[in-house]
Structure 1
Amino acid sequence: MTPIGFVHSTRTDATDDAWDAEATTIHLDGDTFSPEALQGLDAFSHAVIVYWFDRVPPEKITTGARHPRGNESWPKVGIFAQRGKNRPNRIGVTTVRIVDVQNLSVTVEGLDAIDRTPVLDIKPYMLEFAPRGTVSQPQWSKELMSDYWRTIQSQ
């Protein structure tokens, strides 16, 4: 795959939590795209960003089960039952709020990717693609996510 652009963010370290405190803009590759590629995206409130955890070294890839974040009070679950960055193909997917679209740039809130992360795709979020029916998840995942999106001001 070839990145369509790169993340420009105030966060340079892949640490967990407080991702809503980050200022993030995705800049598309100007050699490949023109502003036309983003035409109409500003009519959507949210987008789905697909990106590559390019700085996860191959030896850190997890293919089996582990305790999320190494927390042994949470159950050991397989890599496909969690959203950690050490995934087999190192692909990240996050739904973000669109703040602004200008030229070849999209400013967003809630992107959990660090500065210079390669972006593979941007898709508008549509309610019709939201889950149908009841959504459930285990308690440990709710605990893990409790501070994930908080802002620095709420700490």
Structure 2
Amino acid sequence: MENDTTKTIPMQLNPVGVVRSEIKTPMLLAGESDLSLEMRMEKVKAHHREVESSISELVIDPDWEELLDGIEGFSHVLVLYWPHLLDPARRNLRKVHPMGRKDMPMQGIFATCSPARPNPVLVSAVSLVARKGNILEVKGLEAVDGSPIVDVKPYSRSYLQVDGMKMPDWMEQLHREMEI
């Protein structure tokens, strides 16, 4: 099998909808050489608690509404979205401190959930609250208002659950710190 990464096929992504959310600004900003967390850790925890209980709308373009048929049979969906407020010039970061925290070791972008990545497609698993025509109400989405939606997929354990998952210590620490 040829392994030539210099030969790429052109890609085109078009939004299928837009996020409507109470979140107006991103929690993390990408600088020239790292991320910066825009709030103190106490506020980050409060922000995450608010997000976990907040309802957002995924407004799917009416031309794509029939693609949602059957989605209401699922309790959770994956939302793939584009962080539209990220300055394209900041998509060249190679390594960052996770969540902009200098007490965390520098990591390669692909080892983090940073929005500052070559192709900044973000993904969140959220609860599906309701479908109203071309609008999905979801709970727990941390997308900024106006974020273009790239795709919506049903969450299915059989495809997405893995056994023996391992995370580095710094990620385990971040998860512990976010617990209520």
Same fold (TM over 0.5): yes
Q: How does 1:1-20 map to 2 (within 5 A)?
A: 1-15=13-27, 17-18=47-48, 19-20=51-52
Cα distance in structure 1, aligned partners of 2:123 and 2:149: 10
Q: CA separation of 1:120/1:56 partners in 2, compared to 1, >3 Å: closer, same or farther? A: same
Structure having greater relative contact order (Cα 8 Å, sep ≥ 6): 1
Cα distance in structure 1, aligned partners of 2:106 and 2:100: 9
Deviates more, 1:97-106 or 1:123-132: 123-132
Instruction: Name the residue aligned to 2:171.
Output: 141
Deviates more, 1:36-45 or 1:54-63: 54-63
Give the CA deviation at 1:61. 1.9
Is 1:23 the equivalent of 2:35? no
Instruction: Name the residue aligned to 2:133.
Output: 103
Secondary structure of 1:33's match?
helix
Aligned residues of 2:83 and 2:115 also touching (Cα < 8 A):
yes
Q: How does 1:1-155 map to 2 (within 5 A)?
A: 1-15=13-27, 17-18=47-48, 19-30=51-62, 32-34=63-65, 36-146=66-176
Give the CA deviation at 1:62. 4.1
Gaps of 5+ in 1: none
Cα distance in structure 1, aligned partners of 2:146 and 2:175: 24
Aligned residues of 1:11 and 1:22 also touching (Cα < 8 A):
no
Amino acid at match of 2:19: V
Q: How many residues align?
A: 148
Give percent identity, aligned residues only: 28
Gaps of 5+ in 2: 1-12, 28-43
Cα distance in structure 2, aligned partners of 1:82 and 1:13: 20
Q: CA separation of 1:142/1:121 partners in 2, compared to 1, >3 Å: closer, same or farther? A: same
- Normalized against structure 1, the TM-score is what? 0.87
Amino acid at match of 2:57: T
CA-to-aligned-CA distance 1:21-44 (integer Å, 9 cap, x gap): 4320101112x223x221111110
Give the CA deviation at 1:147. 5.8
- Normalized against structure 2, the TM-score is what? 0.75
Give the CA deviation at 1:96. 0.8
